[in-house]
Amino acid sequence: MKLRAEVRNGVYLTPTEARVFDALTDIPESPRSIAIRAGLTNIHQAEAGAKYCIALVKKGLAERTINRGIRTWARKRIAEQESDRGNS
């Protein structure tokens, strides 16, 4: 049985997903930077960071962007702000 931590809005995350979520900011960043801040010690930090960011995207808590061909992730709130500006 996996331990689960409640984050918000009824969304449940694994402890590692919660650490990655806490490491996300409003500014899109590389998965390696996020993994380092989350304390992931996997030898392939970029891949591990991307894996957990993808899981957070599927749960509606993160947003993936592509900047100059590089995948970056941020908290979902940044995407909502951009869509609000587009509708004004």
Backbone angles phi, psi at 40, to 5 degrees: -70, 125
CA max distance for the chain? 47
* Count of domains observed in the chain: 1
Q: Supply the range of the domain harboring residue 22.
A: 5-87
CATH number, domain of 44, equals: 1.10.10.10
Burial class (CB in 10 A: 0-12, 13-18, 19+), 60: exposed
pTM above 0.85, yes or no: no
Q: What is the pLDDT of residues 35-80, one digit of tens each?
A: 999 999 888 888 999 999 999 999 999 999 987 888 898 998 644 5
